[in-house]
């Protein structure tokens, strides 16, 4: 499943890069987001209802207990919108590969922060994986610098 998710994520990024840089398409980041958001809802909403059938009732109950829950959800939606728009802009101005490398670097940074703040344990295998990720990001940066 992890391999399939990684391949699907990479395919999505490559297709975004093609759509954003193609002379024939003339799509900008906002238009691409406008087209992709409804498709994501159509795919994710049924999956959510199957995997978490009571999520809507729980959310309504939480909103009744704490009216701030609606603000939290709206804030989450705004942040998700900004993340997607930023991803599209990074893809347009760099490349799909750069976006993937940045995503891997972000994951490694998140793990280091979680270790420092929350003292989360990490196995030796996990640590080796994160070190390999950081080395890959550094090597990619060096190759990009030299190619300019």
pLDDT digits (tens, 9 = 90+) for 46-68: 999 999 999 989 999 999 999 99
Residues composing the chain: 148
Instruction: Let me know: does 107 contact 133? Beta carbons within 8 Å.
Output: yes
What is the spatial distance between Cα 100 and Cα 10, in angstroms, rounded to a whole number? 7
Q: Give the residue ranges of the chain where pLDDT is below 70.
A: none
What's the 3-state SS for 94-125? CCHHHHHHHHHHHHHHHHHHHHHHHCCCCCHH
What's the Cα-to-Cα distance from 15 to each of 27, 91, 92, rounded to whole Å? Answer: 12, 10, 11
What is the spatial distance between Cα 55 and Cα 5, in angstroms, rounded to a whole number? 23
Burial class (CB in 10 A: 0-12, 13-18, 19+), 115: middle
pLDDT score, position 9: 86
pTM listed for this prediction: 0.75
Phi-psi region of 101 (alpha: psi -120 to 50; beta: other; left: phi over 0): alpha
pLDDT score, position 2: 85
Instruction: Let me know: does 96 contact 10? Beta carbons within 8 Å.
Output: yes
């Amino acid at each position: 499943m992890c391999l399939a998710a990684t391949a699907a994520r990479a395919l999505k990024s490559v297709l975004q890069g093609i759509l954003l840089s193609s002379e024939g398409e003339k799509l900008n980041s906002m238009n691409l987001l406008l087209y992709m958001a409804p498709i994501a809802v159509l795919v994710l909403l049924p999956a959510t209802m199957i995997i978490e059938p009571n999520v809507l009732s729980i959310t309504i109950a939480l909103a009744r207990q704490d009216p701030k829950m609606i603000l939290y959800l709206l804030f989450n939606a705004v942040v998700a919108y900004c993340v997607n728009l930023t991803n599209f802009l990074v893809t347009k101005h760099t490349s799909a590969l750069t976006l993937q490398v940045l995503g891997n670097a972000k994951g490694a940074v998140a793990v280091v922060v979680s270790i420092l703040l929350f003292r989360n344990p990490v196995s030796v295998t996990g640590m080796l994986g994160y070190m390999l990720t950081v080395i890959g990001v550094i090597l990619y940066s060096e190759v990009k610098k030299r190619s300019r």
